[in-house]
Structure 1
């Protein structure tokens, strides 16, 4: 959904002065982002928490000087003056600097599929323009499923790898399966991604 903004395309600088936090900038036009549900927020927290713990352990072992950020902003390489895209979860191996608006040199971007699939997939296409990005993962809400794109020898695949988890009924109910995050050398269990999530419904946002 786009905002009622008229006139010439808005620049990122103008957008940052105008935005109230609910929009992202797409080709110079503010676009209202789909509101997130409890399930979306739970999955986002679960994934970020697992990655943070993994990266912290790597930092202690002096192996992985990377960090994870949620609700961050990245700058597409193409038409960067008119695009301000927001991610669910981003991993970068660059330090944070006070005042920075964009997450520098993201290596891994994770999105959670919401009701507006076209917007999410449009963002993913833009993320592939970033030279630093090595991997993009899209988790579904309605089912235990992940789509994984990996850049190999500088080339992105035409289609993602599809990884399907299995809901295991019992007490407690859990989800079997895992996704390999090659960009940071981590295996992420579906059981942790969908922890505390109701997997009997089909709602997503």
Structure 2
């Protein structure tokens, strides 16, 4: 005897064959810009950086990582109540164009500052002329952030300063492009009780602003 009298009966499953030529793209290996953009736009559960022809899935951050990223963006934005510059959060994609090599990198920094009119358009979804990029360091991404990603940032003509913000101690590193020699960079490390200077936009950020809501006396679980 049927319990449902045929009502609500499951339909027979359709087994779909996957055409290898149209199989989903997999990150990790070399791919073209077009292939990367297809991958990034079709992925609903994450975002990908594309540096050196390779796509890298951006892992989810800790509560501390998220809070610091938000603090940095808010602290910078407080200084931009007037003027031409705008700060963007981690969900805005940035195009890193390298004129010397013609290469293109696509990244999602934790925060980005642009002073370009076109970048500030409300219908814009890609920052093309970043002036400052910010990365909050995590154990899982620090090698990449300090290596290939940092090199890509330095090769971008529009970027004047790069902030590397430590997650488990009030330490901020700033790579600043030299005014006398655009090909060289100064590396400045700011510690507790020091203000972080961003000369390209003429502002200073206190450690209290950047690390608001974090207590370093409490044990932190690394990502």
What range is the shorter-chain TM-score in? Answer: 0.7 to 0.9
Aligned-pair RMSD on alpha carbons?
2.3
Of the three residues 68, 79, 99, the one matched with 2:87 is 68
Structure 2 distance, partners of 1:76, 1:104, is 7
Structure 2 distance, partners of 1:80, 1:101, is 22
Structure 2 distance, partners of 1:81, 1:148, is 24
Shift of residue 27, structure 1, vs aligned partner: 2.5
How does 1:1-205 map onto structure 2 within 5 Å?
A: 4-5=26-27, 9-19=30-40, 20=43, 21-56=46-81, 59=82, 64-71=83-90, 72-78=92-98, 83-95=105-117, 96-97=120-121, 100-115=124-139, 116-121=141-146, 122-152=148-178, 153=180, 154-157=182-185, 160-165=187-192, 176-200=193-217, 201-205=219-223
Segments of 5+ residues of structure 1 without an aligned counterpart are 166-175
User: Which protein is bigger by CA-based radius of gyration?
Assistant: 2
Cα shift readout 1:65-122 (whole Å, capped 9, x = no counterpart): 1100011322233466563222111100113336544312111111110112111112
- Which of structures 1 and 2 has the larger relative contact order (alpha carbons within 8 angstroms, sep 6+)? 1
Structure 2 distance, partners of 1:68, 1:42, is 16
Q: Which runs of 4+ in 1 moved over 6 A?
A: none
Normalising by structure 2, what TM-score?
Answer: 0.74
Structure 2 distance, partners of 1:98, 1:70, is 14
Structure 1 distance, partners of 2:154, 2:206, is 25
SS at match of 1:160: strand
Conserved? CA contact 2:95–2:104, under 8 Å: no
Segments of 5+ residues of structure 2 without an aligned counterpart are 1-24
Structure 2 distance, partners of 1:15, 1:81, is 14
Alignment length, in residue pairs?
185
Conserved? CA contact 1:40–1:204, under 8 Å: no
Cα shift readout 1:32-68 (whole Å, capped 9, x = no counterpart): 2232111011011111111111101xx1xxxx21100
